[in-house]
């Protein structure tokens, strides 16, 4: 039981490049989330998926898109990376949207 | 005004002492409260959840909730150097949003 896994662990992009962050969970959770964490800002919700087939914007969705591929997988895409998107990205999941969230190991992204 | 506030610290306590971490929140309708521990360079790890007024104990950890005063606290008894980390308070409101609001965290240092 791996819990929540994320790939890649580290990534360096140039401004304007695109990439997709992958997240998968094996806990049969219905809800999945993407956060970013910046120094002094805490964790901020980018997008979430309350259940398979649904996605909704969080607090800071601009510049991102998501896909809930199936119940296990939830990906985050940066279409045209900007230096302001340099951050640590965490994926999380929960049984339902009302339960505790469990986090993946994170992806450290630098945009030059 | 920040919705969930924590003192950034660092809170420094000697080994064996009780560490007291506090969190206040602005949404009076909040229903669910969580404490996460985050080691440097790692992802948040859930350590406690509390939903009703009073105390909840789990090993060396006690969460305390006072909805009337809108604060939640975490006590760590017999603090160990391995408890040195940043502790994040997270609060979920009772509205239809699935958003979990995180504080910026309190850094705890346990001195040997």
**CA nearest neighbour of B40 among B111, B101, B105:** B105
> How far is residue B5's CA from residue B102's CA, in Å, rounded to a whole number?
9
B77: contact with A, CB 8 A cutoff: no
Q: Are B99 and A94 in contact (CB under 8 A)?
A: no
Among chain A residues, CA nearest to B43: A105
How far is C-alpha A103 from the geometric centre of its chain's CA atoms? 10
Q: What does each of the 112 residues of chain A score in pLDDT, given as a tens digit? A: 789 999 999 999 999 999 999 999 999 999 999 999 998 778 999 999 999 989 999 989 999 999 999 999 999 999 999 999 999 999 999 998 878 999 999 999 999 9
Give the one of A31, A42, A59 whose C-beta lies nearest to B104's C-beta: A42
* Burial state string for B58-73 with b = 16 or more CB within 10 A and e = fewer than 16: eeebbbbbeeeeebbb
Task: Please state, rounded to an integer, the average pLDDT across all residues of chain B.
Answer: 92
Does residue B2 have a pLDDT over 80?
no
pLDDT of residue A78: 96
B92: contact with A, CB 8 A cutoff: yes
B105: contact with A, CB 8 A cutoff: yes
Higher-scoring residue by pLDDT: A39, B86: B86
> How far is residue B41's CA from residue A45's CA, in Å, rounded to a whole number?
19
Does residue B73 have a pLDDT over 90?
yes
**How far apart, in Å, are the Cα atoms of A89 and each of B84, B103, B106, B112?**
23, 17, 20, 33
B80/chain A closest Cα distance in angstroms: 24
Does residue B62 have a pLDDT over 90?
yes
Give the one of A56, A101, A106 whose C-beta lies nearest to B100's C-beta: A101
Q: Are B36 and A82 in contact (CB under 8 A)?
A: no
Q: Are B56 and B50 in contact (CB under 8 A)?
A: yes
Q: What is the mean pLDDT of residues B54-74?
A: 96
> How far is residue A34's CA from residue A109's CA, in Å, rounded to a whole number?
14
User: How many CB pairs lie under 8 A apart between chains A and B?
Assistant: 43
CA angle A104, B62, B32 (to 5 degrees): 60
Query: How, if at all, do strands A10-13 and A107-111 pair?
Result: parallel
Among chain B residues, CA nearest to A47: B99
Does residue B94 have a pLDDT over 80?
no
pLDDT of residue A76: 98
**B23-33 pLDDT per residue, tens:** 999 988 888 99
Comparing A7-21, B2-16, B54-68, B84-98, the range with the smallest average pLDDT is: B84-98
pLDDT of residue B81: 97
Return the structure tokens found at A72.
């296990």
pLDDT of residue A112: 96
Does residue B96 have a pLDDT over 60?
no
pLDDT of residue B99: 76
Residue with tokens 């969460």: B63
Q: Are B26 and B1 in contact (CB under 8 A)?
A: yes
Does residue B43 have a pLDDT over 60?
yes
């Amino acid at each position: 039981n791996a819990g929540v896994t994320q790939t890649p662990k580290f990534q360096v992009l140039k401004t304007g490049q695109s990439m997709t962050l992958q997240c998968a969970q094996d806990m049969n959770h219905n809800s999945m989330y993407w956060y970013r964490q910046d120094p002094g800002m805490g964790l901020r919700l980018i997008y979430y998926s309350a259940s398979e087939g649904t996605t909704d914007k969080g607090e800071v969705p601009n510049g991102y898109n998501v896909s809930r591929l199936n119940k296990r997988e939830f990906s985050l895409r940066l279409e045209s990376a900007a230096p302001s998107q340099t951050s640590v990205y965490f994926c999380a999941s929960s049984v339902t949207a009302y339960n505790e969230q469990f986090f993946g190991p994170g992806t450290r992204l630098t945009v030059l | 005004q920040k919705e969930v506030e924590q003192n950034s610290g660092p809170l420094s306590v000697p080994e064996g002492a009780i560490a007291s971490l506090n969190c206040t929140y602005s949404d009076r309708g909040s229903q669910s409260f969580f404490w996460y521990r985050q080691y440097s360079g790692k992802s948040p790890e859930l350590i406690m959840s509390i939903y009703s007024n009073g105390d909840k104990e789990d090993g060396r950890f006690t969460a305390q909730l006072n909805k009337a005063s809108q604060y939640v606290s975490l006590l760590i008894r017999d603090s160990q150097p391995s408890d040195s980390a940043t502790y994040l308070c997270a609060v979920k409101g009772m509205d239809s949003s699935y958003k979990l609001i995180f504080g910026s965290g309190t850094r705890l240092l346990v001195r040997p």
